Amino acid sequence: MESISIKTAEDIAGMRIAGKLASEVLDYITPFVKVGITTGEIDQLCHEYMTNVQGTIPAPLNYCPPGYTPYPKAICTSVNDVICHGIPGDKVLKSGDSVNLDITVIKNGYHGDTSRMFLVGEPSILSKRLSEITYECMWLGIAKIKPGAHLGDIGHVIQQHAEKAGYSVVREFCGHGIGKIFHEAPQVMHYGKPGTMERLEAGMIFTVEPMINAGRREIREMGDGWTIRTKDRSLSAQWEHTVLVTETGYEVLTMSEGYPELPDFIKNHQG
């Protein structure tokens, strides 16, 4: 296994700034995510905000991992049965749609990566429950983070919570180390067994970003080379944070003023 970098104090300071800025893009766009807007308009607004207001660079734009074509937009917009990497375009949001907006900014060379779910108009009971369970999955995973814990501890709680609700965990995509590089070691699986995989140390930074399907876990890749959908066309949800391992536990780097309410099990255990 490729080794996991330990960030310096300077790196951590840079990652705090990038993380907060990424979250602030989502705060900014929230009031615009309404019936009638297109995913392309959301992308354009976010792109302008990053460039003109924040002075950040959208990391997805022209991002080109091996075997891919360059990603054509500034953000990812994944609607309903799209699991991840949805490309913004002419799609008009309608009442009942659920959409994940995934933002990665670069500031002073450092990456901040975060995503949230948005329920448009009158949400269905299913989409609301799926988003809530996925949010809990992410936070349950984050709550496991401390020196000496293992990545498998995170995956295990996420998988347990999702499957107990009758949902499934996507296997093909995972969380990742992040810093000056967008995607680096380790791979953070959203399923697994306690005590397995890499052991955590203070100074590591990685994302936790579970993708949870209402139906089966299998995926389909679209012809655009990026968009990933559920094979059975069931709904999918995702939430994402960038997290630092501290001496005593964790620090979520992708927080801001407009962040949604924390789950009770987090609120009650913070200071």
Binding-site entries for a divalent metal cation? 102, 113, 176, 209, 240
Contacting residue, 24, 113, 136, 153, with Co ion by CB under 5 A: 113
Nearer Cβ to ligand MF3 (156/176): 176
Nearer Cβ to ligand MF3 (113/123): 113
Quickly count: other Cβ atoms within 10 Å of residue 265's Cβ.
11
Contacting residue, 43, 136, 198, 209, with ligand MF3 by CB under 6 A: 209
Task: Kindly state whether residue 85 participates in binding ligand MF3, applying the rule CB under 6 A.
Answer: yes
From ligand MF3, Co ion, none, interface partner of 120 (C-beta below 5 to 8 A by class):
none
Residues 193-222 as b/e (b if ≥16 CB within 10 A, e otherwise) read eeeebbebebbbbbbbbbbbbbbebebeee
Tell me the CA distances in angstroms from 89 to 29, 75, 92, 106, one per residue in order. Answer: 16, 11, 9, 23
Strand order of the sheet with strand 228-230? Answer: 82-84, 228-230, 219-221
Task: Kindly state whether residue 190 participates in binding Co ion, applying the rule CB under 5 A.
Answer: no
For 24, counting Cβ atoms within 10 Å of its Cβ (0-12 exposed, 13-18 middle, 19+ buried), the class is buried
Least spacing, CB of residue 36 vs ligand MF3, in Å: 25
Task: Kindly state whether residue 184 participates in binding ligand MF3, applying the rule CB under 6 A.
Answer: no
Which residues make beta-bridge pairs with 106? 57, 111
Give the three-class secondary structure for 193: coil
Task: Kindly state whether residue 71 participates in binding ligand MF3, applying the rule CB under 6 A.
Answer: yes
Contacting residue, 29, 240, 253, 254, with ligand MF3 by CB under 6 A: 240
Nearer Cβ to ligand MF3 (143/188): 188
Binding positions for Co ion, 239-258, rule CB under 5 A: 240
Contacts of 165 (CB under 8 A, 6+ apart): 129, 133
Nearer Cβ to ligand MF3 (128/183): 183
Alpha carbon 111 to its chain centroid, in Å, reads 13
Which residues are at the interface with ligand MF3 (CB under 6 A)?
60, 63, 71, 76, 85, 102, 104, 113, 209, 226, 240
